[in-house]
Amino acid sequence: MTATVTELDMEVVQGFAFKVFGDITAQQMGPLTTVGDRLGLWQTLAEIGPVTSTELAARAGLHERYAREWLAAMACHGYLKYDAETGRFRLPAEHAFVLSNTDSPLYLRSVFSMSEASWRHIDQLAEAFLHGGGIPQSEFGDRFWCGFERFTGASFKNFLNQDWIPAVPSVDAALRNGGSAADIGCGNGQALLTLARAYPQATLIGYDNYAPAIAAATANARAAGLDDTVRYAVRDVTEGIPGSYDLITLFDVVHDAPHPVQLLTAVARALKPGVHLLHPGVQLFRRRPAQPRASAGDRRLRLLREPELLHDAGAGGGWPGHRDVYGRGAPAGVRDRGRLRESRAPGVCEQPVQHLLHIADLTPSQ
């Protein structure tokens, strides 16, 4: 039975209503921020400094009315500052670090453009809730994957060669001396392109079972002049990985793979003995569990939990194999169930959004 108003703590009700209202507003910022992204408005604001709506309209080729409303919405939401005396809007340098600086470790603008796909698939998602199954990866489209590439690319640019690889000195040494690395679920290929810049002697190959990602990665390598250094190939890694490697990386792959145990088993078989796997997000997985309380106040967890429902369930085909790994969280769950064995304690590097697990000697247990 629904509680009557007199039974309710109206302060709590009001606080929660404002929270929901804030979420609605934030959600409405998605399309507006994405329009700004597509039309280069964030870049323009960062370059030209404080503007009136007329100036922005002239510079970006917009209708002035739209420029005015967009600037006002962004100022109301706190993304821009407004100076009532001059009638100018400006993007503070600290906000530019998040919204327009593509080299920043906290560059987040492209994430907005990814939610477009989630809304587009809302009917299919509701069907999946009722009947299982998922939404094919291809239906998320190039814009989603390009947004994802820009998001994770910022992490690779800032952490891969500076922190993650040097955190495991033997891997650093192997790659400097012509060793090999495979990036599994390489997507549009940015991790290996970043690695190739610091380790030109290394043999680098990326595998992904989604052909358009491999086409995009190959084009990216060509555009970067690195197509002699890095190779990409279409491959479903659960069917095995050719060759053996000094380093295997899995960036944002295991949690949405339809068959994570098979995937990790193939990875374990392709690692040279005593060598290394880098796999991010593990601290989050360990704390991911079922209890909502564990994640309620943790924005980093929320950032990963929501995409998991909106995208990963779909691309993962409804997670047919996930119970195998995620019963208690991965890769702890992997160990607990005796499918795979970590033979040494993981070392963890931190970055603003994720943690990174380094596992040495992940081996199949039978």
- Applying CB under 6 A, which of residues 79, 148, 164, 319 lies at the interface with ligand SAM? 148
Establish if 330 lies at the interface with ligand SAM (CB under 6 A): no
Based on the shown chain and the rule CB under 6 A, indicate whether residue 317 belongs to the binding site for ligand SAM: no
Residue 253 binds to ligand SAM (criterion: CB under 6 A)? yes
Q: Does 251 bind ligand SAM (CB under 6 A)?
A: yes
Figure out which of the listed residues 175, 257, 330, 340 binds ligand SAM, where binding follows CB under 6 A. Answer: 257
Q: Which is nearer to ligand SAM, 134 or 187 (CB)?
A: 187
CB of 311 to ligand SAM, least distance (A): 8
187 binds ligand SAM, rule: CB under 6 A: yes
- The binder of ligand SAM chosen from 139, 236, 308, 361 (CB under 6 A): 236
Say whether residue 360 binds ligand SAM (CB under 6 A): no
- Least CB distance to ligand SAM at residue 209 (A): 4
| CB nearer ligand SAM, residue 57 or residue 284 | 284
252 binds ligand SAM (CB under 6 A): yes
Q: Show the 3-state SS of the chain.
A: CCCCHHHCCHHHHHHHHHHHHHHHHHHHHHHHHHHHHHCCHHHHHHHHCCECHHHHHHHHCCCHHHHHHHHHHHHHCCCCEEECCCCEEECCHHHHHHHCCCCCCCCCHHHHHHHHHHHHCHHHHHHHHHHCCCCCHHHHHHHHHHHHHHHHHHHHHHHHHHHHCCCCHHHHHHHHCCCEEEEECCCCCHHHHHHHHHCCCCEEEEEECCHHHHHHHHHHHHHCCCCCCEEEEECCHHHCCCCCEEEEEECCCHHHCCCHHHHHHHHHHHEEEEEEEEEECHHHHHHCCCCHHHHCCCHHHHHHHHHHHHHHHHHCCCCCCHHHHHCCCCCHHHHHCCCEEECCCCEEEECCCCEEEEEECEEECC
Supply the minimum distance, in Å, between the C-beta of residue 210 and ligand SAM.
4
| Positions that interact with ligand SAM (CB under 6 A) | 137, 148-149, 152, 185-187, 207-210, 213, 236-238, 251-253, 256-257, 263
